[in-house]
Each structure stands twice: as structure tokens, then as C-alpha cells.
Amino acid sequence: MLYLIGLGLSYESDITVRGLQVVKKCKRVYLEAYTSILMAASKEKLEEFYGREVILADRELVESGSDQILEGADQDDVAFLVVGDVFGATTHTDLVIRARELGIQTEAIHNASVMNAVGACGLQLYQFGQTVSLVFFTDNWRPDSFYNKILENRKIGLHTLVLLDIKVKEQSIENMARGRLIYEPPRYMSIETAAQQLLEIEEKRQEQCYTPNTPAVAISRLGSPQQTFKAATLKELCDYESGEPLHSLIILGRQVHDLELDYLYHYCDDKEGFKKAVVEDQEFFKPPPYVPPPEEEFSD
């Protein structure tokens, strides 16, 4: 059996009881180590808690060397550990598909992830639309495909969760071209960078998806003792000192429930200013008028 086991968000002890029981009986235990990180637990802490060796699985191993992970899983139990929940990244779905092709049974043991823990900021989960990812811009690569999804969410009044890029075990273009296995230091996108990049794309596209005064919520170190929230406008978040990773960001929808606002005010430096920004944003981003479809003509 291949077991895919969610680890939760922060501590080595956030694993579920059943997940821990499975880890202890598996022949090999892999830790997916590039889509996210456990903020309060190192590989060594996991090994001490599990009483087992943990094999780090980087991007190259998971995406190109899945056969190594799956080797013997038709006869022995193998664990694949994922920070957050098991299916937080499409890569893990690919691993399950590959296992099925080889006739290997799979089982998922779920856990908390940013997708549900984000409700801790006070926004209601069923008011969220499509989740988007924001990558680090480079001098010649500034992708804006996320913009369309935010715009779609905003048109129907829903919040947008923006997941911020992390770069772990990445190579520079020069080292890749020269075939040198030299990796860049890990990088984690900050709230400030995310807000600046979002506003840059609005300036480029000018489709009025959002403005510098659109209200947003900065989320830092979710699920850890150092968890913080900040409710402010995108412009204000450009100068926010978000601190240690990991971070994510929420762009508010134009339909914000009063209970959501009451909760968010606790995270405002300027409650009245944030309240004004919400009202102005609702006025700025009004849905297009409803146009009924043409009536069908019927003939005898």
C-alpha cells in the first residue's frame, strides 16, 4: 500500500493518530519537501517523534523519480508525507495515478491545510471562490494568469485566497544551462512582494479587478504559535513587515458579511479606514446589470 499522509501545518505532533500509526509500520517514509514546509518541525524532529528514518523527497524525486518512491509498494507499505493535506498539490494526484497504473493500492489520511484553516481569519469558507497561486516575478517573466480568476471571483462577490510562491532547491538559469547541480537559497514570498505584484498587474491590465484601496487580509505563519492576521488595503500591505514565512493573502469579495467585518476589525490598525475601504470597494466593483436572455419564438 502507498499511504499519502497529511501532516497539518506546524508541529510534528499535528499528524493524526491514525497517520502516526501507519508511519510506524511502513517500510519506507518519504517527506515531500518542496510545496510547503512544517514551520515548527525539522526533519530531525519528525524522525525523533516517529522513531523512523524520514527520506526527503524533493521536486526532482517526486516529479521525475516516482518509480523510486513506488518501488516495492505492491508488497510493502510505503508512506508519503505531505505538509497540510494530502491533495494540496496536483503533484500528489499524479503520484496516485502512477501508483494505480502499477497496480499499487493507495490510501489517503487527511489533515488540516491552508484551504480550511484560513477560516481562522474570520472570513467564511463558503464565501471563497477560486484559489490562485502567485509566483515570483523575474526580469523577463511576469505571468498574470491569476488575474482572470480573481476577476471572476470578484464579479460574483467571492473572496480570493492567494497562495504565495516558495522556492526550495531551485537552480539558476546559468547553472541549469551548464548542468551544474548548484541550488539557490530557499526563498519565500512575503506579503509586501505579493501586494506589489498584484498592483503591478492591475496597472498593466487595467480591467478594474481591484485597486490599491481594495481591502485584503494578510495571513502569516498560519497554524503556528506565531500566527498573525492583518486587515488592510493592498496599498497598505505593500509596506507591511510580514516577518518569517509562510504567508498567504486574501482579496476580499465585494459581498462581505457583517459578521466577517466584525471579526476582521480586530486585525485593523485603522478600523474606520478599513470600513471605508470596504464600502468604497463595493461601490467601485459593482456587477454588470443583468440582461435577460432573448425570448424564444415558437411557430405553430
* 189, 247 Cβ separation under 8 angstroms: yes
Instruction: Say whether 165 counts as a known binding-site residue.
Output: no
Instruction: Say whether 264 counts as a known binding-site residue.
Output: no
Secondary structure (3-state) at 127: helix
Instruction: Say whether 179 counts as a known binding-site residue.
Output: no
Q: HSE on the CB side for 225, CA within 13 Å?
A: 3
For 171-235, the DSSP string reads PPHHHHHTT----PPPEE--HHHHHHHHHHHHHHH-S-S--TT-EEEEEESTTSTT-EEEEEEHH
Instruction: Say whether 222 counts as a known binding-site residue.
Output: yes
For 69-114, the DSSP string reads HHTTTTTS-EEEEESB-TTSSHHHHHHHHHHHHTT--EEEE----H
Side chain identity, residue 172:
S
Instruction: Say whether 299 counts as a known binding-site residue.
Output: no
Instruction: Provide the β-strand partners of residue 55.
Output: 30
Instruction: Say whether 51 counts as a known binding-site residue.
Output: no
Instruction: Say whether 4 counts as a known binding-site residue.
Output: no
Instruction: Say whether 88 counts as a known binding-site residue.
Output: yes
Rounded CA separation 101/67 (Å): 11
Please give the annotated binding residues, written as ranges.
9, 85, 88, 113-114, 164, 222, 247
Residue set of the binding site for S-adenosyl-L-methionine: 9, 85, 88, 113-114, 164, 222, 247
